[in-house]
Chains A and B, each alone.
Chain A
Amino acid sequence: MTTRGTQAADGPQAALPGTPAFPEAARRAVHDPVLRANLRHATHTIRGRRARAVAELADWDRLRAAGKAIKDHTLRHLDRYLVQLEESVTAAGGTVHWAVDAAEACRIVTRLVQATGEREVVKVKSMATQEISLNEALEEAGIAAYETDLAELIVQLGHDRPSHILVPAIHRNRGEIRDLFAREMGRWGRPAPDGLGDDPRELAEAARRHLREKFLRAGVAVSGANFMVAETGTLVVFESEGNGRMCLTLPETLISVVGIEKVVPTFRDLEVFLQTLPRSSTAERMNPYTTMWTGTAGGDGPSAFHLVLLDNGRTDTLADAVGRQALRCIRCSACLNVCPVYERAGGHAYGSVYPGPIGAVLSPQLRGTGSPVDASLPFASTLCGACEEVCPVAIDIPEILVHLRERIVQGGPATREGVRVRIRPARGHAAERAALRAARLLLDHPGALRAGERLLARARRLRPRRLPGPGRAWTDSRDLPEPPEQPFRDWWAQRERQDRTPRRQDQAGTP
């Protein structure tokens, strides 16, 4: 139970219970050679392609600045643009629903599906519906939700979790996918053909045939959106496979669940993101399918359109002057592909639908820092800065990481469920705090520091190969440095003394 005002508060959508903290989850991934190889191959391939696609645009820096400015402006006036969006969608024949948290969003969608009398829905890949665990909620209500994105299908058939924003099955290789298709497809619909091989073309064809049956039968589709245009009420999905186009045009009823930060003011603003999003995510100049829908149009496309606007911690995030820049994110996943920590740890280690650097700053803001995994995420980075460098909306991820670390170890103000609370310093950092305080006392007293350094120099012969306690984290895989015979400041002082006394031939020894 959360006591407002004093507790380290949980967010509206806490991490799954029992999810291990990042270092523990990452340890398993690091020691899984197949996973390491899959991740390394995939991230390095797309990293190189992205760099080439971005280098083609002479005005990349200006596009990046424009994207940042559009998003910042929209976030500053989010209340106004969301109301304008609701009016535009309603005028175009759609219905807008507001969901404060995951539970409310799931209730709304379940009710809407039940009203149609359908027992199954097709889905275009959507981070927002993953964030609220919509598939599980629908399943509880006896409604089957079929993912139609190829990678999402692989994840769903494997009873697995996505591990990447753009390539949810990045952790799987072709052989694993072949086995999965052969084993699982028949249980959910059209089975994989006999003798299925692991050629990508063959795998894609099997998925296409399996999915085609679902598209043609579905009465209801559930989608997310990459952007929503306030002035026209238009929603936009960028995708590569055409499954999205099928979901968005074939069924009678379309339900879109979208985070409130996805709105942009005008249709013209899309110009910027149509250039930056595909190049940053798939390294394509333009994604193969861009589908836009504005309410309903008689006889063409869905006859009923519902937009569920999802908050789920976003207005709390917006209240944070440093952290709010994470809401600029357009989910391109460039930061994942370039992150050396993601490359070794894999997406599952982040315990969130948003993995990688952006997940490390977004999840603890949307969910709060109360759970072990959320408290560990801001530390899942070396602050190397590669993520900020590639971000097409210039989110200073390292700055937010340090800001959240401060909140966790020092405590401080935060907004949870619309209420200003004071987060208490997290437990488990007490020993570190004491150690750093002791270090500071030493470092702030050069006399004591010098004595400490000399002690280290004298004890250099005692240097163990492995340290006990927390020091083991270093010595398990690395040798300790050899302490010098003399610290620098003693060398300097000795040299100074010799300079002042009449010059003798014997020089000061080198440490």
Chain B
Amino acid sequence: MRAALFVTCVNDALHPRTGVAAVRLLERLGVEVDFPAAQSCCGQPQYNTGHRREAEPLLRRTAEAFAGHRYVVTPSGSCTAMVRGHYPRIGRLARQEGRGGRLEAYAEDLAPRVYELSEFLVDVLGVTDVGAYYPHTVAYHPSCHGLRGLGLGERPRRLLAAVKGLELVELPGAEECCGFGGTFAVKNPDVSAAMGADKAAAAAAAGAGVLCGGDTSCLVHLDGILRRTGSPVRTVHLAEILASTEEEPLV
């Protein structure tokens, strides 16, 4: 099976380890991975901030970059939700406003082919035990787009539960937002930081050494708070844990 990796701009520029982990994991599971270099950002920051028209060229770029790929996998719940949930609306509105040309067709064509990593593993590959090894105490933060936007449900936790050596602990208030929210983090910094601090405290109270999530942006925000407060809790992306094996453990 072949799949294209949509690594996302945040992972590409700030957190390439997530992308590397996704590649290693997928290849280990027998997937031939492509990385179309023409990809960049899905346009979510622009769209969520109200600059919908600024997101249109990025929609076009993303759709063109992944044209011809049956499966597009991305280690990001929020970027998946952007493509699947909001691209069709952007395309429709562009048409209604007399712009866009093929934007709507691009959106409709791409949306059903994009999978969040845990969806791809569980639904497409049909695996929950990916042969990973990670001997740490882990709490999972489901993040809003994965939880409510995509309805990922138990998929990520089932994947984690099958990891050898991993102890999964309950995160109190797991379904609550971490406070990142894209530009919310800088437009409303005080509320954002208060939400993040509560989430970080919940992870520590749960006895977790590692706070795991499927969205690098949420993790960057939470990691920034954990490090500022000197907490021993680390943030690690789901892909990194699933890529970790006894032969090549994540350090």
Q: Which residues of B contact A17 (CB under 8 A)?
A: none
- Contact code string A444-480 (vs B, CB < 8 Å = 1, else 0): 1010010011001000000000000011011011111
Complex: A83 Cα to B207 Cα, angstroms: 62
- Among B49, B54, B190, chain A packs the most CB atoms within 10 A around the CB of B190
B185 near A474 (CB under 8 angstroms)?
A: yes
* Residue in A closest to B223 when the chains form the complex, CB atoms: A481
Per DSSP, are chain B's interface residues mostly helix, strand or loop, or mixed?
helix
Q: Which residues of B in the span 33-61 have a Cβ within 8 Å of any Cβ on A? A: 35, 37-41, 45-54, 57-58, 61
Summed over the interface, the residue pairs from A and B with CB atoms below 8 Å come to a total of 188
Q: A436-B49, A511-B20 are in contact. Are A444 and B57 (CB under 8 A)?
A: yes
Could you mark each residue 214-230 of chain B with 1 if its beta carbon is under 8 Å from any beta carbon of chain A, else 0? 00000011011101100
State the Cβ distance, A478 to closest chain B Cβ, in Å: 3
Question: What residues on B are CB-neighbors of A26 within 8 Å?
Answer: 188, 190-191
Question: Does A384 lie within 8 Å of B223, measured CB to CB?
Answer: no
Which of A341, A404, A410, A456 meets B13, CB within 8 Å?
A: A456
Interface status of A408 (Cβ within 8 A of chain B):
yes
Known: A406-B50, A492-B35. A436 touches B45 (CB 8 A): yes
Chain A residues near B190: list those with CB within 8 A.
Answer: 23, 26-27, 30-31, 477
Q: Are A446 and B38 in contact (CB under 8 A)?
A: yes
Question: B-facing mask of A481-496, CB < 8 A → 1, else 0?
Answer: 1011011110111000
Task: Flag if B20 contacts A382 (CB, 8 Å).
Answer: no
CA of A406 to CA of B45, assembled, Å: 13
Q: Is B177 an interface residue (CB 8 A)?
A: yes
Bound: A456/B51 CA distance, A: 25
Partner of B48, one of A383, A437, A453, A492: A383
A111 in the interface, Cβ–Cβ < 8 Å? no
Q: For residue A31, which residues in chain B have a CB less than 8 angstroms away from its CB?
A: 190
- A402 contacts chain B at the CB level, 8 A cutoff: yes
Check if B15 sits within 8 Å of A484, measured CB to CB: yes
Interface flags for A366-390 (1: CB within 8 Å of B; 0: not) read 0000000000001111111110110
Are B51 and A409 interface neighbours, CB within 8 A? yes
Contacts of B197 in A (CB 8 A): 477
Partner of A479, one of B38, B41, B179, B223: B223
Residues of chain A at interface, number, CB under 8 A: 64
- Is there contact, CB below 8 Å, between A344 and B16? no
Tell whether B103 is near chain A: CB-to-CB under 8 Å: no
Kindly state the separation between the CA atoms of A340 and B227 in the bound complex, as whole angstroms.
23
CB atoms of B51 and A436 under 8 A apart: yes
In the complex, the answer to whether B35 meets A489 with C-beta atoms within 8 Å is yes
Assess whether B186 is interfacial by the CB under 8 Å rule. Answer: yes
Q: Interface size class for chain B?
A: 35 or more
Q: Does A274 contact B (CB under 8 A)?
A: no
Q: Decide yes or no whether A80 CB sits under 8 A from chain B.
A: no
Indicate whether A340 sits within 8 Å of B35 (C-beta atoms), given known contacts A479-B228, A488-B16, A491-B16: no
Contact in complex: B7, A488 (CB < 8 Å):
yes
Mostly, the A contact residues are: helix
A341 touches B188 (CB 8 A): yes
Residues of B within 8 A of A483 (CB): 13-14
In this assembly, does B181 line the interface, its C-beta being within 8 Å of a C-beta of chain A?
Answer: yes
Q: Residues of A contacting B46 with CB < 8 Å?
A: 436, 439-440
Q: Residues of A contacting B227 with CB < 8 Å? A: 479
Knowing A30-B191, A440-B54, A443-B9, the reply to whether A481 touches B220 (Cβ < 8 A) is yes
Q: Please tell me if the beta carbons of A444 and B179 are within 8 angstroms of each other in the complex.
A: no
Does A345 contact B50, Cβ atoms closer than 8 Å?
Answer: no
> Smallest Cβ distance from B42 to chain A, in angstroms?
10
CB-based contact A389/B49 at 8 Å:
no
Assuming the contacts A344-B195, A440-B54, asked whether A432 and B177 have C-beta atoms less than 8 A apart, the reply is: no
Docked pose: A180 CA to B180 CA in angstroms: 38
| Beta-carbon nearest neighbor of A36 in chain B | B194
Which B residue's beta carbon lies closest to that of A22? Answer: B188
Within 8 A of A (CB), among B61-109: 61
B193 at the interface (CB under 8 A from A): yes
User: Are the C-beta atoms of B186 and A470 separated by less than 8 Å?
Assistant: yes
Considering only CB atoms, which chain A residue lies closest to B21 in the complex? A510
Residue of B nearest to A341 (CB): B191
Question: Known contacts A23-B189, A473-B189; is A386 also within 8 Å of B148 by CB?
Answer: yes
The residues of A that contact B220 with a CB separation of less than 8 Å are 481
Q: Using Cβ atoms and an 8 Å threshold, which residues of chain A touch B181? A: 381-384
Chain B 115-167 interface residues, beta-carbon cutoff 8 Å to A: 144, 148-149
Residues of A close to B196: CB separation below 8 A: 477-478
Encode B191-206 as 1/0 by CB contact (under 8 A) with A.
1111111000000000
Given contacts A344-B195, A402-B48, A487-B13, contact A444 B40 (CB under 8 A): yes
Chain B residue numbers with a CB within 8 Å of A409 are: 49-51
A489→B42 CA distance, assembly (Å): 16
Judge if A73 is at the interface, Cβ distance under 8 Å.
Answer: no
Give Cα A27 to B188, complex, Å.
Answer: 8
User: Which partner residue on chain B sits nearest A437 by CB separation?
Assistant: B54
A405 at the B interface (CB under 8 A):
yes
Interfacial residues of chain A within 1-52, with CB under 8 A of chain B in the complex: 22-23, 26-27, 30-31, 36
Chain A residues with Cβ below 8 Å from B45 are 436, 439
Please state if B191 and A484 are interface contacts (CB–CB under 8 Å).
no
Instruction: Give B5 Cβ to nearest chain A Cβ, in Å.
Output: 9
Would A383 and B144 be within 8 Å (CB), given that A23-B190, A344-B195 are in contact?
A: yes
Taking the complex as formed, is B32 at the interface, i.e. its CB lies under 8 A from any CB of chain A?
no
Cβ of B170 under 8 Å from chain A: no
**Is A420 at the interface (CB under 8 A from chain B)?**
no
Contact B228 A474 (CB under 8 A): no
A residues less than 8 Å from B57 (CB atoms): 440, 444
Judge whether A474 and B224 touch: CB under 8 Å: yes
Which residues does chain A contribute within 8 Å of B13, judged by CB atoms? 452-453, 456, 483, 487
Pairs A-B, 6 closest by C-beta atoms: A382-B181, A405-B50, A478-B224, A384-B177, A477-B193, A488-B16
* Extra 11 A-B pairs, beta carbons < 8 Å, given A470-B186, A479-B225: A30-B190, A386-B144, A446-B37, A471-B186, A477-B193, A477-B225, A478-B224, A484-B16, A486-B16, A488-B16, A492-B37
A-B contact pairs, 7 of them (CB 8 A): A23-B187, A36-B194, A384-B177, A402-B52, A436-B46, A437-B54, A488-B20
